[in-house]
Amino acid sequence: MFKNKLMVGLSIGLAIFAVGYVFNHFQATEVQVRTVLRGELAEYIEVRGKVEMDRKELISSKWSGVVGDILVREGNMVQPDTALLSLKVLNSGNAAAELEKARISKQAALRDFNYKNEKLEKYRKLYREGIVSEEEVKDLEMAVTAAEAARVAAEQQYKIVADNFLVNSSLGLESGNGRLTVRAGTTGKILAKYVDSGVSVVSGAPLFEVERENSAYYVRADVLTDDAVKLKLGQTAILTGEALDDAELPGKIVYIAPKAETTLSSLGVEQQRVEVRISYSYQDLPLRLGYGVDVKIVAALEPDAIFVPEKAVFEKEGIDHVLAIEENKLKLLPVKTGIENDDYIQILEGLREGDKIAVDPDNKLKPGMRVKIRR
């Protein structure tokens, strides 16, 4: 009789234990779990850059006149005193007409800029109210930038023409026209030609752009000041983009501007950016002057770092924390972090290699909760 009661009691106990185990198992919350890693970790600054040249020269006209024969083409090599084009210099009457033309152009450029700038301010307000799209604001901002450049160019051109109004008269050409030859002043290669035969030019008008001998290419990138404080000469940069057919081209920082410049973002927000120049080996590469590239600067490198996915770290009461997993339960741990990138963040204190942590935890997860790994 006693033996039968004992067997019944054991059966009931096992049943209760089994029910409890099943209950606890299926009550466990699923979480995404990752292991704390150890290895090399880099922090990057990513920005857009453009290929530029350190030694180029703009050849401008010293006189007002009409372009005659053009004697060189883009890509031609020139030496000092190489003839570039002939120029039929205008008499003083034509110079006065050029001055009036420059004045009218200056006024027109100013009106165009004011109109587009006022329209941009209205569009920014409409964007904040949700009436127009960000793309419309960006398109108009580009138009304003172009109008501003045209306004400045027109003002400069007018000043040049006004300052040199009497220059042609000093040549003694009041009663007729003279012909001059524009010549190169340096050794190099013609990069660009800005005029054609028969075109009228005023004093100061650009004629050619020349790549000077022994010029070097570099990539210019304008970096936000918050990121620029992390930069040093000699730091590694990685260049990528369509122009490189998605290949990675290494480079290094060779220049950091001593001061920042204020620019406007596409939404009209003021930003302070610092010019950075990156040298690279450009032999046998398709990168040409003016090409755009993606720049990834290695701002910091830890060869032996403890790190976790960036989404595993969250802030609580001003302190970084993670949810560690010990014996299938969550444990809230404070951590001290170091460098980071888009994927991972360094852990200086609070975790060890091989520890298990929850990734991208939601607000429902609490310390002490039983969890199981999400498959």
The dihedral formed by the CA atoms of 76, 80, 82 and 87, expressed in degrees to the nearest 10: 110
Class of the CATH domain delimited by 57-88+177-215: mainly beta
d(CA 196, CA 67): 7
pLDDT of residue 17: 47
Predicted local confidence at residue 66, as pLDDT:
87
Tell me how far apart the alpha carbons of residues 359 and 362 are, in angstroms, rounded to a whole number. 9
Tokens of residue 12, six digits:
């009931």
Q: In the prediction, which pLDDT does 175 show? A: 39
> Which CATH number applies to 45-53+216-301: 3.40.50.2030, 3.30.930.10, 1.10.3720.10, 2.40.30.170?
2.40.30.170
Query: According to the CATH classification, is domain 27-41+303-373 in 3.20.20.70?
Result: no
The whole-number pLDDT of residue 165 equals 60
Question: What was the pLDDT predicted at 21?
Answer: 47
Q: What are phi and psi of 121, to 5 degrees?
A: -60, -40
Q: What pLDDT does residue 176 have?
A: 44
The confidence score (pLDDT) of residue 163 equals 63
Please give the pLDDT value at position 246.
76
Q: What is the pLDDT of residue 12?
A: 53
| 191, two tokens | 């990069």
Give the CA distances from residue 143 to residues 29, 49, 109, 137, 139, in Å, rounded to whole numbers and listed in that order.
54, 21, 13, 10, 6
**Dihedral sign, Cα of residue 148, residue 154, residue 157, residue 159:** negative
What integer pLDDT is reported at residue 213 of this predicted model?
A: 83
Q: Give the pLDDT confidence score for residue 287 in this predicted structure.
A: 78
C-alpha of 301 from chain center: 21
Q: Which of 282, 250, 298, 224 is nearest to 53 (CA)?
A: 282
Per-position pLDDT tens, the chain of length 375: 545 544 545 555 554 444 444 444 446 788 889 999 999 999 999 999 999 988 888 999 887 788 999 999 999 999 999 999 998 876 555 667 777 888 899 999 999 999 999 999 999 999 998 998 988 888 899 899 999 999 998 888 787 777 666 555 554 444 345 678 899 988 999 999 999 999 888 778 899 999 888 778 899 999 999 999 999 999 999 999 888 887 889 999 999 999 999 887 767 788 899 999 999 887 656 678 888 999 999 999 999 999 999 999 999 999 999 999 998 899 999 999 999 998 999 999 999 999 999 998 887 888 888 988 775
Residues 6 or more apart whose Cβ sits within 8 Å of residue 366 = 330
- In sequence order, the 6+-apart residues with CB closer than 8 A to the CB of 103 are 158
For position 336, what pLDDT does the model report? Answer: 96
Q: In this predicted structure, what is the pLDDT of residue 243?
A: 81
pLDDT of residue 335: 96
In whole angstroms, what is the distance from residue 72 CA to residue 210 CA?
A: 11
CA atoms of 363 and 117, how far apart (whole Å): 46
Extents of the domains making up the chain: 27-41+303-373, 45-53+216-301, 57-88+177-215, 91-174
